[in-house]
Structures are given as C-alpha cells and as structure tokens.
Chain A
Amino acid sequence: MSVRSKVIEAIQQIAREQHVTLPALSDDLSLHETGFDSLAFAILVARLEDETGVDPFTISEDAAFPATVGDFVRAYENVPA
C-alpha cells in the first residue's frame, strides 16, 4: 500500500470513529476543513507512527505542521528511508 493510501485510510478510519463527516479529500483541502480537532490529529499522527514507523512532526524540530491534506501526505512521503 502506498504511503498516500495509508494516510488517507487512517484519516477515514478516525473520521468514522470520531463521527466526523469528511469532505472530499483533495490535496488542497485545508486540514482545518477536514473537521478534525487537535485530538483527532494527535490520534492520526500516533497511529501513522505505529504503522509507518515515523512521526515526521517530531523528527525535525523546525517542521511546521502542514496546512493542507497534500502537505500532510507529503510529510510522510518525504521522510528519508
């Protein structure tokens, strides 16, 4: 499974658990518009860390938290192996 599909699937799973109705997940959708609160993002980052072994937001001290879904996915795609 590609990194992108893993991320998207995790977002959808958490949305179901949290009873969040997601809009269509396009790359330029702002994370704010997903309807996720900070707790939902914290869950997402923790689960993706377990699944992929990386937490791109803790690795680099100056990493800014992404603004859009596309940025978020790229943060995982761009982690050096």
Chain B
Amino acid sequence: MSPREIFALRDHLGAELKGRTISDAHDVVSLTDILSHTVLGGRLRELSGRAVLLKLSDQLRSGLAMIELDGIARRMLLCPPDLNPAHLGSLIADAGIDAVVTDEPDRWGGTGVPLVVTAHLPLQATVPVTSERATEWLMLTSGTSGVPKIAGHTLEALTGAIVAEGPARGPAPVWATFYDIRRYGGLQIFLRAILSGGSMVLSDPHEALGDHIARLNARGVSHISGTPSHWRKLLMSGAAAQFAPAYVRLSGEIADQAVLDGLKAAFPNASVGHAYASTEAGVGFAVNDGLEGFPADYLGNRNGVEMKVVDGSLRIRSARTAHAYVGRDATALTDADGFVDSGDIVELRGDRYYFVGRRGGIINIGGLKVHPEEIEAVINRHPDVRMSRAKSRRSPITGGIVVADVILADGTDAARAKEIRDQILDQCRAQLASHKVPAVIRFVEALDVTPAGKLARTDA
C-alpha cells in the first residue's frame, strides 16, 4: 500500500499565483513567489515534526507561518489575539508544545519551550520545501471563561466545505473577514483565499471601522464575512454606504431576519447568506435564500453532513468536524455515534428550523428558561432598532426579569424614544410569552462585542 498523498497548504499554492496578495493595514505580501520565501528566517527545517505554538501579534505573519508550517510541523496551535496569557502554560502542556513561533522572542527565554523561532517581515528568499506529513491543526474554542478547549482538525476537515463548493466563479475574488484568521470563522476565509484563488485583506483590531472599510474598498474586496454583531456595527457606522461587496456572509451567531434584511438593503447587488459553523462542528451548511433559520429538510444526510436534533440541540456528524479535544483532561468531542452536540438550540416552526439560542446561555426568569437571543430577534425586527441585548436582572418579586438594552438606528429622533419603546413592547407582547417580554427597555449608545465578534453576554 502506498502512503496517502500529502496535500498541504503549499500544495494548493502551485499555479496562478501572479497578482495575488495577502495584506493587512501595514504590509502587502505578494503570493507570486511565496513558496520560495520564508517568514521564519529560513528555520522551517528546525520545526519539522514539532508541536508548534503560533503566538504572533499579527494575522499577516500568522497566515504566512501557517502556509510554511503546514505539512512540516507535527501540529500547530493557533493562538487568537485575545488569549488570556494566564492560560498559556496549561495550553502548552496540553498540546505537548515543543516550539514556538513568535515575534517577541525575548518573552520566551525562561519558559522551558525548547525551540523559539522568530517570524519577521519582509520575507527572505529560501529554497522551497516538500510537504512531509499531514499536520494537525489545533484551534481554541471561543467559549466563555476558563481555559479554552483545544480542538484538533486536519487540513482536509478544515477545507471540506471549500473543496465541496469548488472554485469561485467569475473573476478571482478578493477575500476579507472581520474575524481574526486564528479563529475558525476567519480561518475559513483565509483557507478559501489560498485554495480557491484570489487575494486576502486582513482585519486589524486597532483600526477604526471607517478606515477598515476604506482599506477594504481600496483593495477591491469582493467577498467578506463576519458575525451578525460585526455586520450590525458596520450598518450602524454609516461606512456601509461606501462599500459594495458582491458576497456577504454571516456566521458565528444567530443571523436574524433583521440583520439579513439590513444587509440586503445596504448591499442590494450582493449575495447575502449565512453559514452555520463552529470550531468543533466544522462547517455545517450555508443558507442562501435570504431567510433566517434553515429548511427542515437540511436534517438527515446532505452532501456528507448529517444533522439531527436531540433535546432541541443541533447535532452534526461529518468529515469536517474536529476529530478530538486535545489535552490532559480532554473530554469526548462527539457522542457514541460520532455526532458533535453543538449546544445550539433550534425550534421547528412550519417547514423551517430557527435558532433560538445557546444551551449554555439560558437565563432563568422566575423559574422559566429563556433564551436571550429569541427576545433580541423580536426587538431587532423594529425598523428603528439596530442591535439589542436581552439579559436577566434580579427581582425581589420573581427572582428575575428580562431587561433589554437597545441601540437605535443612526439618526433616530430622540423625541421618539417613548413611542419606539411602546412599539417594541407591543411587538414583544404579540410574539413572546409574557415572562419573555422585557420589563425594562434601556436605549444605549453601544453594546460590548467580544474579540471573537460576538455580543458579550458576561451576565448570561
């Protein structure tokens, strides 16, 4: 039996590299001769077979290091920028890390990691290498508090949906995402840019939204993804008016009808769709009919992705899921049948399933379970509302009540606040059980969004 052919990132970068770039707010790197250049100072050989921690302060060098390391390192652990440094030691032990790629080599002096390799730009010329092995990709879950879990993927699993879709039609896309590419949602776009051609424009957490959009425009971005919270922020900013992407995707949070309609209105010529994916479950499916939720016939086996609903929660089995949690106290990632329990609660209404919230995000209102997302979706349907967050507040009478913070659309007359509040409450009373109707609605200027692009729910 011959060994299975190894196909690493570099092997997807064979042909037609001319004119393609990957860039951030500071640098533009040409992909034309990327295979004969190194961001690792030519030290890739030393990392062969190692378990490498990718701990860089920017996405550009991270992406370039991924291209080099895939097929050479035994595994690589991607660290998102907001990783709590207090968790590093534990993650290093859990992943058996024996090398780090960093831009701050001085910090790694006394840490016991035996090999420290510095990544720097500009790239240096080097001799192209041949892929040696299928590198294991380790990604951190974007869960709440505590040490994040490490989910193990293969490149094949990570790119399953991209390969299934085939190359993008028409002119080579210019990809961008509001996500960081060291998170699952962002990595999907980075991998699309590598596999299906085109260029990639990276985000920068220190850049103002207006400047970011101006940069996306200047670089001709055509395909862009983000969470509904990312997109609501863009819609609120007024910057959307200067931007005309052809392909707009949402993932990572529930895409409610209001944000889908808002994007369709802002980008009338764009294809607007939402995708279901998570670090553990991989890419589940895409919904391109412009409606929230997904058709009930997506359940069962569809294009190699099997889905079922157990106790209200969506479960997924496919070749695109992570294969295991990695670490000393790693729990099973799948149930006995190989399904990943997403923890995303869905509800069947008519012939469509709707996402109602996270199992872990339930708030308790007088002994009744409430998903804040379900309330937000109703509030967001009001035409003057841009974004909202429902949460519980303790009550001496019932133990807890629902309260909501609401951001009104730009330019809403403050004198209409009372009228809008009454309309929102009427809308909630018409569509929600009485204990889910907010007792208090507060109009706010901003709502916190986590570094992963999700509405902050610290109190949920």
Contact = CB atoms under 8 A, between A and B. Distances in A.
Given A39-B366, A43-B439, A46-B403, A17 B425 contact: yes
A65 B403 CA distance: 22
B440 interface: yes
A6 interface: no
A46 B393 CA distance: 9
Interface in A23-55: 38-39, 41-43, 45-47, 50, 55
Interface in B421-458: 422, 425, 429, 434-435, 439-440, 442
B434 A39 contact: yes
Contact of A38 (B397, B425, B440, B442): B397
Interface residues of B, number: 17
Contacts of A42: 366, 395, 397-398, 401, 439
A65 B398 CA distance: 12
A41 B397 contact: yes
Contact of A45 (B366, B397, B422, B442): B397
Judged by DSSP, the binding face of A is helix
B396 A47 contact: no
A43 B396 contact: no
A45 B440 contact: no
Contacts of B366: 38-39, 42
Nearest to B394: A58
Most chain B CB neighbours (cut-off 10 Å) among A46, A50, A55: A46
A43 B400 CA distance: 10
Given A38-B366, A39-B434, A39-B435, A46 B401 contact: yes
Contacts of A55: 396
A39 B425 CA distance: 15
A40 to B, nearest CB: 9
A18 to B, nearest CB: 8
Nearest to B435: A39
The 10 nearest A-B residue pairs measured at CB: A43-B439, A57-B396, A42-B397, A42-B395, A42-B398, A58-B396, A41-B397, A42-B401, A46-B439, A46-B440
